């Protein structure tokens, strides 16, 4: 099923064991900017999951995102003390926390998850808005990959590159994302009895229009924090700030279980 677990920092036996879950059309390597800023005693691993960049989405016929994540976690030598997910990966973490018979970790950080409040109906207008947001996220991802070069890129070329990336991902990729977005309304978040930190940007459509507030209400021990400077790929573009927030979260929720 999933590829090998990637060890990004050996840490020490006493350090927290953090496991990182990448987003759709991304790779485990995208975590490097963040990992470099975490304490050296942390044990940090990343999962290489089937929704990685360039996949054909055939994995949807074999298991749910939760199923794939649980399989990846089963390959670890020890269970994690902290799960960190981004975007589609964050929603897979949320699904696993809400549905697993046994909680997979005693704490979690969700960066830019997407969430549909139970009261938001699945209408065509929601579908169309999600389709537009999909291209916006692709555009944000392109800008992160280009770095400073994005400032000097011809706007027409940038639009063309986004269109080509969207065509490559295709309907299968978008529908996978949209179906998972719809499914989030059915997650029993009352079962998530662990500290959860949700990070996102005030302009990120994933948590816009009251979704952040709804997620805050539904998570018994959750804290949702939106920042004007964060965007969808804040774990890369604002890695220093996100790393500091994760460290503060771990320190505030420190326990023997998280450090042993």
Task: Read off the CATH number of the domain in which 216 is found.
Answer: 3.40.50.1820
Q: For residues 30 and 1, is the Cβ–Cβ distance under 8 A?
A: no
**93 within domain boundaries:** yes
- Tell me, yes or no, whether 124 lies in a domain: no
Whether 48 shows a pLDDT value over 60: the answer reads yes
Q: Is residue 135 part of a domain?
A: no
**Interacting residues of 233 by C-beta distance below 8 A, sequence separation 6+:** 86, 112, 140, 141, 144
Instruction: Note the Cα 11 to chain centre separation in Å.
Output: 23
Give strand pairing partners of 196.
Answer: 108, 222
The domain in which residue 14 lies consists of: 5-119+181-258
Residue 50 is assigned to a structural domain of this protein: yes
Residue 218: per-residue pLDDT: 96
Number of domains in the chain: 1
Q: Note whether residue 235 is domain-resident.
A: yes
pTM, to two decimals: 0.93
Rounded CA separation 112/75 (Å) = 26
Q: Is the pLDDT of residue 237 over 90?
A: yes
Q: How confident is the model at residue 53 (pLDDT cuts 50, 70, 90)?
A: very high
Q: What is the DSSP letter of 205?
A: G
Please check the confidence at residue 257 and state whether its pLDDT lies above 80: no
Residue 44 in any domain: the answer is yes
């Amino acid at each position: 099923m999933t590829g090998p677990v990637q060890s990004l920092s050996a840490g020490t036996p006493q350090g927290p064991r953090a496991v990182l879950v990448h987003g759709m059309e991304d790779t485990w390597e995208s975590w490097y900017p963040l990992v470099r800023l975490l304490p050296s005693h942390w044990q940090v691993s990343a999962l290489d999951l089937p929704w990685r960049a360039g996949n054909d989405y055939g994995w949807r016929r074999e298991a749910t995102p939760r199923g794939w994540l649980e399989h990846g976690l089963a390959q670890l030598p020890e269970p994690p003390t902290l799960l960190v997910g981004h975007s589609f990966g964050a929603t897979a973490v949320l699904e696993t926390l809400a549905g697993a018979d046994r909680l997979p970790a005693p704490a979690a950080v969700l960066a830019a998850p997407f969430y549909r409040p139970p009261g938001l109906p699945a209408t065509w207008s929601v579908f169309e808005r999600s389709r537009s947001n999909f291209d916006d996220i692709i555009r944000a991802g392109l800008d992160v990959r280009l770095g400073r070069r994005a400032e000097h890129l011809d706007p027409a070329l940038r639009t063309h590159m986004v269109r080509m990336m969207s065509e490559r991902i295709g309907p299968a990729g978008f529908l996978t994302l949209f179906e998972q977005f719809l499914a989030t309304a059915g997650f029993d978040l009352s079962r998530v009895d662990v500290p959860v930190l949700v990070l996102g940007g005030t302009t990120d459509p994933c948590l816009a229009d009251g979704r952040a507030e709804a997620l805050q209400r539904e998570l018994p021990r959750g804290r949702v924090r939106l920042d004007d400077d964060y965007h969808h790929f804040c774990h890369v573009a604002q890695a220093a700030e996100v790393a500091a927030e994760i460290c503060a979260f771990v320190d505030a929720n420190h326990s023997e279980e998280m450090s042993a």
